[in-house]
Chains A and B, each alone.
Chain A
Amino acid sequence: MKSTGTGVDFELLVHEAVASVDDPEYPGVSIVDLGLLETLLIDDAGGVRIGLVPTFSGCPALAMIADDVRDAVAALEWVTAIEIEWLAAPAWSTDRVSEDARSVLSKEFTVAVQIGSSAKCPLCGEPTVEKSLFGPSRCRSVHRCEPCSETIEVLRG
């Protein structure tokens, strides 16, 4: 841990830098709010180690997200080294998605986040029906809201 006593909360600074990175497919939704940040270690020499969990291991955005995190953390001038690792465990689940991210996904993208095995329509709040397990990505399925005839995507684990 980088020395305390300087009055600077180094961990908070790195956390903020990581949180400034948005999901490449959802501008305005931070990867921290999506629950991708798992571990954050800072050593005395200013070396930073960040452990991230992917929503699914075959996600094509992993390299891009890691690059963005690296750039954001490298902007802190006291950082001397950055190591970013995609962790095999724990597995990501929708429980890791923050209330803020749920709200933006719902309002801005009409994307619902799965709760248990169901989801609620971002437009009317009614439960939705799964139409296909496979949406535009492994982490999203296609649902339909019968009351308002809306086709929606549901973020799933």
Chain B
Amino acid sequence: MAGTTIARSWTSLDAFEAFLNGGGIVEVDDAMPDEYRTAVFRFIEMHANSELMGGLTERDWIPKTPGLRHKMAVLAKTQDEIGHGHLLYMVAADMAVKTRTEMLEDLFAGKSRFHNVFHYQAKTWGDQVAIAFLVDAAALASQQAVFKNCSYGPYRRILKRIISEEGFHMRLGEERMLRIAEGTDTQRSMFQESINDWWWPALQLFGPDTKPGDVLLRWHIKSERNEVLRDRWVQKFAPMLQGYGFTIPDPGLHYDDEAGRWMAGPIDWEPLKATLANGGPDSARRIAEAAGNWNRNAWVRDALNAVSVSA
């Protein structure tokens, strides 16, 4: 573990990969190969950006959330996501690829990536429920698959905490879904519209099929292929939503009796590509708003820096 071991180095990428394949865990002070450092850094940076952008969306819903209890939960979830972002930016900055400020400035300049689902606008409370239920489940499944076999120690330890907290969010998401599914016709039709809008983005969060030779798999950052995780999500949510009488906006979706499983129709990956280039339906507004926050709050950073200099 960090602090208790001396920084290690490897003579070649092969030797490093042998270390990873033997279950080795890399720590921040180790002389890891540059390719590995860059790949892990980019992965954590995107996770951190997604927590921050997700937290800002959540924040928008604090005043609009129905009922005091759920309002409290949304308030706490906002703090939770921002807190996760904070921890992840610290861990990413430790990798000495970019500073935290550089990461934030790149994000606000539209030069960085964040998860596709945060490139769409949550227009109704139904959308928020769909996000808490469908999107959070997809994000949690991806994070669990990373945690299971993650070779980078500092990230692995933070993921463990993030996952247990996201598990708690899932319970809240399920509760909200049940409430709206058992609600009035108006509530149910609002939720149906949200399913129509969010099913595909949530499913695409897993990404296209993992390519052969994928370095994230090879270096034990991811532990499962995207298509496996995506399929597992479909197996869970397709029957559950249909069980509550909702329809799923995939005309190709059907149950294959022989295979004993749900088969999704063909996936159009163009929307995902657009979001990855920050050209999604709500990307520009979201980024501008986040950048506006950063600029408006510059005085807080200045004041805090002044205090720590004088102290």
Contacts and interface: CB of A to CB of B under 8 A. Distances in A.
A64 to B, nearest CB: 6
A150 interface: yes
B301 interface: no
Q: What bracket does the count of chain A residues touching chain B fall in?
A: 35 or more
Interface string B285-305: 000000000000000000000
A123 B86 contact: no
Contact of B2 (A63, A64, A111, A148): A148
B158 interface: yes
Q: Which of A63, A137, A150 has the most CB of B within 10 A?
A: A150
Nearest to A145: B3
Interface stretch (B75-83, B116-124, B243-251): B75-83
B4 A123 contact: yes
Interface in A43-81: 58-61, 63-64
B164 A25 contact: yes
Q: What bracket does the count of chain B residues touching chain A fall in?
A: 20 to 34
Given A64-B168, A149-B28, A137 B83 contact: yes
Contacts of A147: 3
A30 B158 CA distance: 21
A142 B82 CA distance: 12
A121 B3 contact: yes
A150 B1 CA distance: 10
A9 B299 CA distance: 61
Contacts of B164: 25-27, 109
A59 B29 CA distance: 37
B240 interface: no
Nearest to B83: A136
B160 A109 contact: yes
Interface in B76-111: 76-77, 79-84, 86-87, 90-91, 94
B224 interface: no
B2 A150 contact: yes
Given A147-B3, A151-B91, A137 B72 contact: no
Q: Is the interface of A mostly helix, strand, loop or mixed?
A: loop
Nearest to B3: A148
A149 B94 contact: yes
A59 B165 CA distance: 13
A144 interface: yes
B2 A123 contact: yes
Contacts of B75: 58, 60
B168 A136 contact: no
A108 interface: yes
24 contacts: A25-B164, A25-B167, A25-B168, A26-B164, A27-B167, A59-B76, A64-B172, A110-B157, A121-B3, A123-B2, A123-B3, A124-B2, A126-B3, A135-B86, A136-B86, A136-B165, A137-B83, A142-B86, A142-B90, A144-B90, A145-B3, A148-B4, A150-B2, A151-B90
Interface of A: 24-27, 58-61, 63-64, 108-111, 121, 123-124, 126, 131-132, 134-138, 140, 142, 144-145, 147-151, 153
Given A64-B171, A145-B3, 10 more contacts: A121-B3, A132-B86, A134-B79, A135-B83, A142-B90, A148-B4, A149-B3, A151-B87, A151-B91, A151-B158
